[in-house]
Amino acid sequence: MYNTEKQKLYFDYSKKYLDNQATALDIDELRDILRYHEWRYSIKNDPVIADYEYDSLYKQLEALEASHPELITPDSPTQRISSDLSEDFPAIAHLVPMLSLDNSYNAEDLRKFDEQVRKLAELPPEYPIEYCLEPKFDGGSVAIVYENDIFSRAATRGNGTLGEDITLNVKTLPSIPLRVPFSDVGIHIAELRGEAVIRKDKFDELNQEREAEGLQVFANPRNSAAGGLRMKKPTDTRDREIEIFLYQLGYATDRLGTDMLATINTHNQQIQLLSDLGFKLEDPKELVCADIEEVSRKVKEWENKREAYPYEIDGMVVKVNSRDIQEKCGYTQHHPKWAIAYKFKAKQATTILLNVEYQVGKIGSITPVAKVEPTHLAGVTVSSISLHNEDFITSKDLRIGDKIIIERAGDVIPYVVKSLPDLRDGSEVPIKFPRICPFSESEEVELIKGEGEAAWRCTNCICGRQDLQKIIFHVSKDAMDIDGFGKSYVERFFELGWIKDISDVYNLDFDEISKLEGFGARSAENLQASIEKAKSNPLARLLHSLSIHHLGKKASKLIAREIKNIFDLIDWKTEDFLEIKDIGPVVAQNVQDFFSVERNVALLKRLEERGVNVQQTESDKLKEIATDAPFIGKTILFTGSLQQMTRNQAKEMAESLGAKNISAVSRNLDILVVGENAGSKLKKAQDLGTVQIMSESEFLALAD
């Protein structure tokens, strides 16, 4: 729909409007620009401008249409609620439309909002209006329906009326219980609204993993959460570690279809109810404000602690607490008139792209790193920023000497939002991504790029840098987990020539180490003990620690389960690998390639000689729990007499599906399965209200 040329045009146009350089405001042009950015944001999950810039363009269009109502067309972006509908998922209708929010940016905007509410609700100036404050989570919005206490479906916001059916994906998320006792409060059908988000630290981890694997990285947590909801494979959604925070009960009726929302007097009570029912929410009590002045104070406090907040939030949402006043305010087509978003200032800065350097990873991926003029950004000085891969550089049209906008939201690693082509003077130099390994000196080593991969890789390393990365990975927590053996030690020993490959980790001279500056007998001993301990690691860890492309933790476990000894893999054929569920041809090929190289087999022999376990251990034999198992991460308890299985069978089944059996009813219990004649445990769970209660047949149906 948008080729590169067109995209560049729309981008330049946006800049023109944002810099107020558009001489005559062209309403059609502005609409096209907004449509383009909606597409980048909602369909591509990869916006090219900041949210507040989009808002500014949107407001310009709104202002233009307000002064020329005759020019409003039914297809104008202002005339519909933006849509993320695609053909990848069937559409389903929301029980009530999902609206958006109007924005405010300062205390003055908030006061105007308060005045407007007062006017609509016909309240006198001295009447204090109570507001609820909530973080404005920056992710993807979701509507979730429960019917008869059971999770029944989930949808994206879509165009506000129709959403995409993402039921199977949302069902994998541990923050969404599959059964909730709505019937206890008389609710038969409930539609909940919430935001899917990813913790900032998890997001950084995810991107680092993806970069190491040569995969495309995500621009920010919002796009990876929103995109994560719309994966074709539900397990991929689950693997993104998405959480859903609820912020509204959009619809609730009893068995007769009577509206139950009308029985809840305040927004706070509504939120409290959801919290009591076991959903994930900010502590609702903390967030009630007596009047708009308190709101103004509190939003500033939140803006200050935004960095420390574990999730990305781009502002706060201010909602009239009283349902009565809400009703009097009503709605526009686009947003409720009783709520407004208070947007935080964007954590962006402009700097200059001085140079691009390259780094090589453990499997040879070449990562370009921008060296920028040191810039203060959200509390840290930034001088290096990863540019991820060649496509990233091309898509952002980055040139050396460019002025660029960089952003750092919270603890998220800074990234380049865009270059500012309008500010070029002609001296800027396009970045030529190397085709020859930038570290090869005497000999030229060509880089290669696998089909469907984003990274160029050096697969024939002669300089040793990849070996260093491989060793760093080998000792890391994810691999052999050698406690206390950090990156800086590896680098030091590597420079000293003490470790050239991973087998040397097990051949260190601890007397020599204890003589090094900064070391002592004690730390050398500790390191020795950690290395000694790692030698008896399960085979799966050893396999994973070898840095074989695409051979992740899970695949390593699956393979380790099938072999007695690591050397068995020398004779494995593609078919042997493919017999294992969830192992595909790419991993099969890469493992075979690794084992067909004599040097690699010799390396494994050296590891064995130096005492590293190469045999299957008891823990390798343990059955891996599928990541899409229905009870994964949940605690479970069976009570009463079961009819269709023994208590032990039930426990085993629950365990094999990812649950942990516990013996008492407490807040730590997630699921109680109730057999016949259940007694005090059932009563206690009902009283707690946080435990999901199900019958034996319901358990079996879910287990199926």
For helices 4-18 and 51-67, angle between their N-to-C axes, nearest 10 degrees:
70
In the complex, the smallest distance separating the C-beta of residue 576 from ligand IVH, rounded to whole angstroms, is 48
Is the Cβ of residue 322 or residue 545 nearer to ligand IVH in the bound state?
Answer: 322
Residues that bind ligand IVH (CB under 6 A): 99-101, 134, 136-137, 141, 157, 195, 247-248, 317, 336, 339, 341
In the complex, the smallest distance separating the C-beta of residue 516 from ligand IVH, rounded to whole angstroms, is 52
**Of the candidates 538, 504, 516, the residue with the CA atom closest to the CA atom of residue 622:** 538
Is the Cβ of residue 317 or residue 693 nearer to ligand IVH in the bound state?
Answer: 317
- Going across the sheet that includes 339-343, the strands are 102-104, 339-343, 313-320, 131-137, 288-289
Is the Cβ of residue 195 or residue 467 nearer to ligand IVH in the bound state?
Answer: 195
Which residues are CB-contacts of 504 (< 8 A; sequence separation ≥ 6)? Answer: 471, 498
**Of the candidates 408, 414, 416, the residue with the CA atom closest to the CA atom of residue 392:** 416
In the complex, the smallest distance separating the C-beta of residue 172 from ligand IVH, rounded to whole angstroms, is 20
Catalytic (active site) residue 605: no
In the complex, the smallest distance separating the C-beta of residue 226 from ligand IVH, rounded to whole angstroms, is 10
The backbone torsions φ and ψ at residue 16, rounded to the nearest 5 degrees and listed phi first, read -55, -45
Q: How far apart are CA 25 and CA 42, in angstroms?
A: 26
Structure token digits, residue 173 = 């998320």
Contact status, residue 345 vs residue 360, Cβ threshold 8 Å? no
Q: How far apart are CA 272 and CA 279, in angstroms?
A: 10
Is the Cβ of residue 58 or residue 638 nearer to ligand IVH in the bound state?
Answer: 58
Is the Cβ of residue 248 or residue 503 nearer to ligand IVH in the bound state?
Answer: 248
Q: In this chain, which residue has its C-beta nearest to ligand IVH?
A: 141
**Of the candidates 518, 522, 517, 586, the residue with the CA atom closest to the CA atom of residue 548:** 586
The conformation of residue 285, written as its DSSP 8-state character, comes to G
Give the torsion sign (CA, 468, 471, 475, 478): positive
In angstroms, the Cα distances linking 226 to 84, 459, 700 are: 10, 34, 32
Is the Cβ of residue 325 or residue 583 nearer to ligand IVH in the bound state?
Answer: 325
Q: How far apart are CA 702 and CA 172, in angstroms?
A: 12
Contact status, residue 445 vs residue 462, Cβ threshold 8 Å? yes
Structure token digits, residue 303 = 């803006």
In angstroms, the Cα distances linking 83 to 59, 162, 195 are: 18, 9, 16
CA 497 to chain CA mean position, Å: 40
Which residues are CB-contacts of 352 (< 8 A; sequence separation ≥ 6)? Answer: 372, 373, 401, 402, 403, 404
The conformation of residue 587, written as its DSSP 8-state character, comes to H
In the complex, the smallest distance separating the C-beta of residue 269 from ligand IVH, rounded to whole angstroms, is 16
In the complex, the smallest distance separating the C-beta of residue 696 from ligand IVH, rounded to whole angstroms, is 38
Q: How far apart are CA 178 and CA 184, in angstroms?
A: 16
In the complex, the smallest distance separating the C-beta of residue 220 from ligand IVH, rounded to whole angstroms, is 15
Is the Cβ of residue 270 or residue 613 nearer to ligand IVH in the bound state?
Answer: 270
The backbone torsions φ and ψ at residue 2, rounded to the nearest 5 degrees and listed phi first, read -115, 110
In the complex, the smallest distance separating the C-beta of residue 101 from ligand IVH, rounded to whole angstroms, is 4
CB count in 10 Å sphere of residue 582? 12
DSSP of 449-512: --TT----B-SS--SSHHHHHHHHHHHSTTTT--TT--HHHHHHHHHTTS-SSGGGGGG--HHH
Is the Cβ of residue 99 or residue 404 nearer to ligand IVH in the bound state?
Answer: 99
**Of the candidates 250, 287, 253, the residue with the CA atom closest to the CA atom of residue 268:** 287
Among residues 112, 119, 136, 345, the one annotated as catalytic is 136
Is the Cβ of residue 98 or residue 685 nearer to ligand IVH in the bound state?
Answer: 98
In the complex, the smallest distance separating the C-beta of residue 261 from ligand IVH, rounded to whole angstroms, is 12
In the complex, the smallest distance separating the C-beta of residue 139 from ligand IVH, rounded to whole angstroms, is 7
Catalytic site residues?
A: 136
